[in-house]
Amino acid sequence: MEFVTHVRKERWATVAGYVLFVALMVAGYYYNITFVQLGLIDLGTRLVGMSETAVSMWLAALALATLVVAVATGVTMDRRGWSTDLRTKFRLLFGVVCVQFALTLVAPTVRTVPGFGAWIVLASVGLGVGFPVSFSLATDLVPVPDRGYVAAAITAIAYFAANAIPLSWSVDVFSQVLVAAMAPGVLVLAVLSFASFDRLDAVLDALGTQHETYGTGRFCHGAPVRARSLAFAVPVALMFGVFFVDSLGFLRIIDTPSLLLSSWQSPDLSTRLFIAVAHVVGAVMAGVIYANYSLSRVFLWTFALFALTHVMYTSDLRFADVFPAIAGGGTSPLNPALYAIAVSFYTTLNFALWPDLATPETIGTHSAIGIGVAGWLATFSSTALALYFQAADLTLLTHLNVVQALSLLLLFGLAVGLYARRMVELARENGGASV
């Protein structure tokens, strides 16, 4: 790990870059998985009085609008050279955090549907500008060999905090906690964006030139990776699949009180801690595998874990279906723990992958398309499908059965795809069959 070398050689500017990146990404991701994913549902249903279906439609709209804003931001960043200007990125990020700070502060006061809609539109602008800018900081702050480990640290800290700290899933609570947490962040970003004194300038100058050394991603050495090339499109499609499967399954799990109260919202702290630790273990494992194996192997593990998780969930449900009396006996924390490991796996991959598929000149566009299509579009589509399932009155088992089928299909498809690619390589190498 290069981080240890930098500490040993007292390259404190570089070390500060690692810490800053992890802190920013943890804060952003924690905000996303708590306030955006959970707080808005509470805001829409409880305070505004909308139906769950209506809120889900608004959230799908948020995902789609965020994708559009992100792609526009990413392309603009690359074309105007903002992707290689550290100070500009900090200023953009400062603007985003200010907007989100204000939105978070006023969220609990929203009471009308138009107000909720306006909040969603403004939030999508903040999120859409925020994630390509924050991901692009990886090219300045994180050396390529350490991106897997840094991604693991971000995932582990964010998920551990989200699961271990017992917050009620209410927009008021999230708002209070996040406003308090964001206030010092706003201050730090203001200093990084606008202040100028010798020591700070020296650190920022050092960090600002690091993209010349660390900027070219792991998969961009040799042939350049373009947004329209297969080398970029295939990971986007695979990540879309992972996000889609996760979101489709999780939407139904959190809608099922018996599953939710025995796992992520268990009143028992030890259960939540167990899940939090599983997230950390999954993230560390993913970081190690990302740093030591090819990308295809990481995807294979991710798909295998998701397939296994859903096989376990559906097996339990089938079992309870055959023996209904057992259904009231509670559920084991093993299934959510395995789910947590699978989620940490692909989240780690998501944090490392897009900077590694880009250069300082393309990071804005690539991270916007990557996360926008794989993350936000997948969330939009899975929410739409989940709503359709809800309208069709699908049972929990049938719903998760579809998710299981998709996860198995992804695993099988990837295995076949890799095998076929190897066959094509062999055919090209040998010009046909050889003995």
Site size toward other proteins (CB under 8 A) is 40
Give the range of 47-55, 56-64, 99-107, 143-151 binding other proteins by CB under 8 A.
143-151
**What tokens appear for 286 in the block?**
């993913």
- Which residue from 86, 91, 96, 21 is spatially nearest to 66, judged by alpha carbons? 96
- In angstroms, the CA 297 to CA 290 distance is 8
User: 145 or 224, CB closer to other proteins?
Assistant: 145
**CB closer to other proteins out of 190 and 277:** 277
Segment contacting other proteins by CB under 8 A, of 107-115, 129-137, 328-336, 404-412: 328-336
Q: Which of residues 166-205 bind other proteins (CB under 8 A)?
A: none
Alpha-carbon gap, residue 403 to 409, rounded angstroms: 10
Q: Stretches 118-126, 172-180, 334-342, 383-391: which one binds other proteins (CB under 8 A)?
A: 334-342
Q: Does 331 bind other proteins (CB under 8 A)?
A: yes
Nearer to other proteins, 322 or 433 (CB): 322
Output the smallest distance, CB 211 to other proteins, in A: 11
Nearest Cα neighbor of 160 from 274, 73, 24 is 274
CB 278 within 8 A of CB 347: no
Q: How far is the CB of 234 from other proteins (least distance, A)?
A: 18
Cα gap 124→430, rounded to integer Å = 51
Cα(73)–Cα(285) distance, integer angstroms? 33
Task: Judge whether 124 and 69 are in contact, CB under 8 Å.
Answer: yes
Compare residues 185 and 282 and give the one whose CB is closer to other proteins: 282
Footprint on residues 202-221 left by other proteins (CB under 8 A): 213-214, 216-218, 221
User: Shortest Cβ distance from residue 17 to other proteins (Å)?
Assistant: 13
Contacts with other proteins, 282-311, as mask; x by CB under 8 A: --xx--xx-xxxx------x--xx--x--x
Query: Binding mask 381-400 vs other proteins (x if CB under 8 A, - otherwise)?
Result: --------------------
Distances (CA, A) of 180 to 175, 183, 186, 342: 8, 6, 11, 31
Task: Establish if 412 lies at the interface with other proteins (CB under 8 A).
Answer: no
Q: Distances in Å between the alpha carbon of 191 and those of 109, 186, 199, 319?
A: 30, 9, 12, 58
Among 326, 416, 420, 424, binds other proteins (CB under 8 A): 326
State the nearest-atom distance from the C-beta of 146 to other proteins, in Å.
Answer: 8
CB-based contacts of 259-264 (< 8 A; 24+ apart in sequence): 259/331, 259/336, 262/330, 262/331, 262/333, 262/336, 263/331, 263/333, 263/335, 263/336, 264/163, 264/336
Token pair belonging to 418: 């890799």
Q: Binding of other proteins at residue 5 (CB under 8 A)?
A: yes
Q: Which parts of this chain interact with other proteins (CB under 8 A)?
A: 2, 5, 143-145, 213-214, 216-218, 221, 284-285, 288-289, 291-294, 301, 304-305, 308, 311-312, 315-316, 319-320, 323, 325-326, 328-332, 334-335, 338
